[in-house]
Amino acid sequence: MKRIISLLFVLILAFSVALVPASADAEVRAVLDDSANLLNSEEEKALADIIAQVSSENKCNVAFLTVNDLHGASFSHNGTAQDYADMYYETNFGKNTDGVVVLLVLSDERGKRTVYFSTSGKCIKRLSDSEREKILDDIIANHNPDSKSYYEFLYAAALGLKEALPPHLKWYMLPLALLIGFAIAMIIMMILRSQLKSVKMEKGAVNYVRPGSMNVTQSRDSYLYSTVSRTAKPKDSGSSTHTSSGGGTHGGGGRSF
């Protein structure tokens, strides 16, 4: 057993050394494009900082974009806020890479103010529909520019992303954690086993029964009643997807306000 434990520690050390220098994460970028001029210089800096933090912590591209309308884009799109956000992402970050675009348009294809979240790559699943809707509920109800500033609106959206996106884990962390957990469990079992020197294994329970102490004189089964209740298990809404006019796969959704 000591040899087994020693071998486990050697394996853990080998995995730690071999897996840590794994391939570097792809370069990611954080972008704040305030084409609608809704922010002053101080607000731009503060919002850019939180966007960069979200991008760095989650290893994905993050862009916040404000436009007056959907005209005059430097890329082709089908005229909707959804496709505008999708194509902005593909033009600036590539097709199907990991990232999120938050688009705020003051006059969309219907002449309404709209905020739209477009997700790409792994961020499609990392930001589920229900999580996105929760962010939209909060920023529109509690940070609406009608009573707040556009800066507070966008900053709240960035904080919502920061809280909603799960932390980025490197691929080797799971097998390493399993190995460490297995090794710790083996050590605990060895310690407990070493404390059981006064006992030995028995194939039966005869030696644990006192003669004459178990005389069953009568037995019966009495059925009383039963109640069965069934409740539907809540299901995560997951992440719906669509294809942009450029052929990329995206998740996302938005809301007018």
pLDDT of residue 246: 96
Which residues, at least 6 apart from 218, have a Cβ–Cβ distance to it below 8 Å?
Answer: none
Architecture of domain 30-170: Roll (3.10)
pLDDT of residue 194: 74
Name which of 95, 101, 146, 145 is nearest 121 in CA terms.
95
pLDDT of residue 7: 57
pLDDT of residue 107: 97
Run means of pLDDT, 10 residues per run, the chain, 257 residues: 56 51 66 98 98 95 98 96 98 97 97 97 96 97 95 98 77 67 78 70 69 74 73 67 97 96
Angle (deg, nearest 10), helices 150-164 and 129-142: 150
pLDDT of residue 248: 97
As given in the structure block, the two tokens for residue 94 are 């590539």
pLDDT of residue 187: 83
Q: Is the pTM of this model over 0.75?
A: no
Indicate the domain borders of the chain: 30-170
How far apart, in whole angstroms, are the C-alpha atoms of residue 44 and residue 177? 40
Name which of 128, 151, 156, 130 is nearest 54 in CA terms.
156
pLDDT of residue 12: 58
